[in-house]
Structure 1
Amino acid sequence: MRFIYRLLFFASALMLFTSCEVLNNSSKYNFIDGYYKSKIQSKKPVKYYVVAASDSIKVYPAHPGTKKIDTVGTITIFFPPVEKATSFKAVSFRTETFDLDVFTILFKYRRAVRQFPNQLTTGFNGALFTGYRTDVYKLSYKENPLNLSKRDIAHYGFSVGGFAGLGTARMDEYVTLNRINYQYDAAVVTTGLAAEFGINKINFGLTYGFDFLTDRNKQVWINNGKPWLGISIGLNIN
């Protein structure tokens, strides 16, 4: 168990050192080359292969059931960075992937336990999240005063999955119903489920979890193993 605690602590601390690098390099935040589903030419989502360059975004229809792209016999759709103002309809591209995030839980809401009232705690928490993610890129053109339309791509994503990490919990005579007579910040293992929503580079989540004290007072802590609700904020790392 000590190895697991150390591993979780290292993963949580890694968030503090990699956040800037993640913001710059994570591919999910950028509309890059790859396979996407879109309703650009049909009423139902169809798979396309997108080549996303700065001068022009090219969209090629993909053969159903294969990864072959016919760049000669099919019609290629172009989205230049600037074009004359027209009544352009926004187009969305969607992709589904495995998700790996690091996040911190901003606060936890705990229901009343025994004689102790409802609690709202804000101690340190860091966790790894893994789940199934859907990313959507909405391509549109915004007209400027020169009667030109500039290409704009908005990104958002959502995912569901589970998380595990480490945190702290305040221990004193109140949260142990007077079974200890001293105070300290204890280490807890935190785990549970989360649903995340991302806008560009930041993910916000609703979490449902449990905390488990790692020291000898776990038998007297009134919140040990009890459910809580929380709000998280995090970054994607894959």
Structure 2
Amino acid sequence: MDVIQLIIPASDQRRLIQGSTYKSWTFQRTEVDIDVFTLPFKIRPAQAQLPPQLNSNFNAAVYVGRRIDLYNYRWKSVTPTFDVRRLQSRGFGYGLFAGIGSVSINEFVTRSPIGIEYEGVVLNAGIATIYDARIFNIGLALGVDQLLDRNRQRWIYQQKPWFGVLFGLNLN
């Protein structure tokens, strides 16, 4: 008869469990998650006369949040007399992020003509949800940008919400 040894880390207790008892188990682990990610695009809602915008400028951020990993341990029958153990895992997270990016600054996105067109530097911050896709993370973000130069008072997107898709790497 096949058995599995269950170790409880908090107390270092060990239990042997018979195969018939553990045909399918689900475990959960929660931890602090630290990631870096990029936002390949942001969707900015309409402002004044400007329709909604899809921006693909550079954006990178650090994410700190809560991660929940779900594990499913089960037996899969290969033949009537032979079973194979299978462990599947999925990770989900939610948290806060802060980062840096660039935005196009021109007469269309400022409240008054500025006479030049350039890439402005922004700090961005917000909330995100993440799905662990094994090699990398994907997710959705809701954030705001803060333009760092003298045109921040004129910029129509200053501290206005945007939505984005993120891709990242797990650092822990």
TM surpasses 0.5:
yes
Secondary structure class of the residue paired with 2:116: coil
CA-CA distance at 1:57 after TM superposition? 6.2
Partners in 1 of 2:18 and 2:67 — Cα distance? 27
1:208 match: 142
Contact (CA 8 Å) 1:111, 1:118: kept in 2 or not? yes
User: 2:117 is aligned with what amino acid?
Assistant: Q
Normalised TM-score (structure 1):
0.63
CA-CA distance at 1:116 after TM superposition? 1.0
Select 1:77's aligned residue among 9, 17, 27. Answer: 17
Considering only aligned residues, what root-mean-square deviation do their CA atoms show, in Å? 2.4
Structure ranking higher on relative contact order (CA contacts 8 Å, 6+ apart)? 2
CA-CA distance at 1:144 after TM superposition? 3.8
CA-CA distance at 1:227 after TM superposition? 0.6
1:139 aligns with 2:79: no
- % same residue: 36
Normalised TM-score (structure 2):
0.85
1:220 aligns with 2:167: no
Which runs of 5 or more structure 2 residues have no equivalent in the other structure?
none
CA-CA distance at 1:145 after TM superposition? 6.3
What is the count of residue pairs matched by the alignment?
169
CA-CA distance at 1:225 after TM superposition? 0.9
Secondary structure class of the residue paired with 1:198: strand
Relative to its length, the structure with more helix (as a share) is 1
Partners in 2 of 1:98 and 1:182 — Cα distance? 44
Contact (CA 8 Å) 1:196, 1:206: kept in 2 or not? yes
Partners in 1 of 2:167 and 2:24 — Cα distance? 29
Partners in 1 of 2:29 and 2:116 — Cα distance? 52
1:146-225 equivalences in 2 (<5 Å): 148-225=82-159
1:125 match: 59
Which runs of 5 or more structure 1 residues have no equivalent in the other structure?
1-55, 80-85
CA-CA distance at 1:89 after TM superposition? 3.5
1:4 match: none
User: 1:59 is aligned with what amino acid?
Assistant: L
